Amino acid sequence: MEITWRFILWKRSSKNIVRCDRKYLHAIVIRILTNQSRLDTVIYSTDQHGWAELLPDYTPQPQLTTSQRVPWVVVGAGFTGLACARRLAELHRDEEIILLEARQVGQGTSGRNSGFAVAVTYSNGGFRVKEEEDYRRINRINQAGLEILRKQVQELEIDCQWREDGFHHLAADKIAVCETDLYLHFLKMLEIEHTALDHEIICDRLGTKLYHRGVHVPDGVLMQPAALVRGLAERLPSNIQLYEQSPVLQIDTGRPLTLKLDNCEIKADNILLATNYEVSKLGYLNQYLIGSTLSGSFTRILTQEELGSLGSLQHWGVLSLHGGGATVRLTPDHRICIRNTAEYHGGALLSERQLTERQNIHRQGFESRFPQLKNVPFEYAWSGVEGISRNFTNFFGKQHEHVYFAGGYNGSGVSRGTAFGTALAEYARGGASPLIEDCLASAPGAWIPPRPLLDVGAYFSIRSRFAGVGLDR
């Protein structure tokens, strides 16, 4: 009975696997038959989409195939894991650090986001006096991560379309328009530099008549996320050994700690997990951190004439003042990119068919902003999974003796993940710093009910996210 149920589950979830190596399927079957652990512990699905699809071909680092004994292992090579491994390598110059990535670098969420490296975080609803210290704490973390990335991009000469453009926060429909005043007040109370924008200025800058009001915040960077994450991975210090397509399938917490991979294992003194929402596959934070699936599309490269129909800015990024609104960019290589769907999909990417369906929603959002470009086709579509908690907190610290985790940034983890990863490396060796204090001050996660209650709850919370989105989608 147990086996039959697991087989049905596998059939269901396998529909969402766009590429899943045979050997992982083999591992799944073994696990089902031996009843070792939950089915989804061994699925690390991927596809060829994301911003990586726009980059030249990439030769990944090898898979780990031989057993090892090391002091430090970092699991997950997104922004958090790369920052964590780099800081560990600086602090332990004579020791080898192993960095394991389940997929290819750039195919995880870090290479599938919208490319906003955030300095200022705002959650809709305006300034609440009792939360002022929390706003400041989160923005200190954002700033710290952004500064680390800025320095690395410069020193390591990473070509990732890094642009210190700041962000446009814009409003088209009623709810978002009302939010503009709340956001302006928030910025004023926190003494954050900004410029209020009216319809005319927005048209002049971006070439869309859709938005009525908005705010430009100059502190914030736009970049090509897959190029950045790859660039960071290609320039790691020599005492870090990165293995790609090497998922950790299980962790045994005896001494030493053991990480089990497909054909080998690593014995380690310390494990730092930077696996985002997938940490539950390794048995941690079950019911506290889940994956929400987002999707977007890129146009082909615009012609000079098409660019001429837009505004005066050569590249820009728009965040919506409605929580369910579209994120839109004109990239430095002259594509428009729009991301405007979010859904609970069991923490999986969308299939090719689902992506094609979502493109209708991307298309509507694109044409309502840029009717003059209605003949410009989309060239790429992608989905990505962000780690979210019910109370929008982040996770940082010890999960078990010598096992640490940082992650779950609710859609804002480029700079924050970099700061959390750096701080985690320092914290795991007993360090103390204001940044560590700020990360540790994250509120505990709120419990998320298991499926099928989770599906019902997720359905209603996504519905509420898009309530009143109107033209902002």
Ligand X SMILES: Cc1cc2nc3c(=O)[nH]c(=O)nc-3n(C[C@H](O)[C@H](O)[C@H](O)COP(=O)(O)OP(=O)(O)OC[C@H]3O[C@@H](n4cnc5c(N)ncnc54)[C@H](O)[C@@H]3O)c2cc1C
- Binding ligand X (rule: CB under 6 A), the pick from 52, 64, 118, 290 is 118
Q: Is 208 in the site for ligand X (CB under 6 A)?
A: no
How far is it, in rounded angstroms, from Cα 341 to Cα 128?
A: 28
To ligand X, the closest distance from the beta carbon of 274 in angstroms equals 5
Draw the binding track, 31-70, toward ligand X (x: CB under 6 A; -: no contact): -------------x--------------------------
How far is it, in rounded angstroms, from Cα 410 to Cα 376?
A: 32
| Piece in contact with ligand X (CB under 6 A), picked from 1-9, 158-166, 203-211, 278-286 | 278-286
Q: Cβ closer to ligand X: 96 or 181?
A: 96
Q: Is 165 in the site for ligand X (CB under 6 A)?
A: no
Residues 387 and 410: beta-carbon distance below 8 Å: yes
How far is it, in rounded angstroms, from Cα 185 to Cα 321?
A: 14
Distances (CA, A) of 401 to 96, 257, 438: 21, 10, 22
Q: Is 145 in the site for ligand X (CB under 6 A)?
A: no
Contacting residues for 453 by C-beta, under 8 A, at least 6 apart: none
Kindly determine how many residues on this chain lie close enough to bind ligand X according to the rule CB under 6 A.
41
Q: Is 248 in the site for ligand X (CB under 6 A)?
A: yes
Q: Is 101 in the site for ligand X (CB under 6 A)?
A: yes
To ligand X, the closest distance from the beta carbon of 200 in angstroms equals 27
Q: Is 274 in the site for ligand X (CB under 6 A)?
A: yes
Peptide bond into 452 cis (omega under 30): yes
How far is it, in rounded angstroms, from Cα 63 to Cα 246?
A: 5
Q: How far is CA 1 from the centre of its chain?
A: 38
How far is it, in rounded angstroms, from Cα 169 to Cα 304?
A: 26
Draw the binding track, 343-382, toward ligand X (x: CB under 6 A; -: no contact): ----------------------------------------
- Binding ligand X (rule: CB under 6 A), the pick from 16, 61, 113, 299 is 113
Tokens of 139: 């923005």
| Piece in contact with ligand X (CB under 6 A), picked from 124-132, 153-161, 167-175, 269-277 | 269-277
C-alpha gyration radius of the chain:
22
Peptide bond into 225 cis (omega under 30): no
Q: Cβ closer to ligand X: 114 or 208?
A: 114
How far is it, in rounded angstroms, from Cα 9 to Cα 4?
A: 9
To ligand X, the closest distance from the beta carbon of 243 in angstroms equals 9
Identify the helix (H) or strand (E) that includes residue 141. helix 132-155
- Binding ligand X (rule: CB under 6 A), the pick from 179, 386, 426, 472 is 386
Helices 225-234, 132-155: axis angle to 10 degrees equals 60
Q: Is 413 in the site for ligand X (CB under 6 A)?
A: yes
Residues near ligand X (CB under 6 A): 44, 75-81, 100-103, 108-110, 112-116, 118, 247-248, 274-276, 278, 281-282, 294, 339, 384-386, 407, 409, 411-414, 417
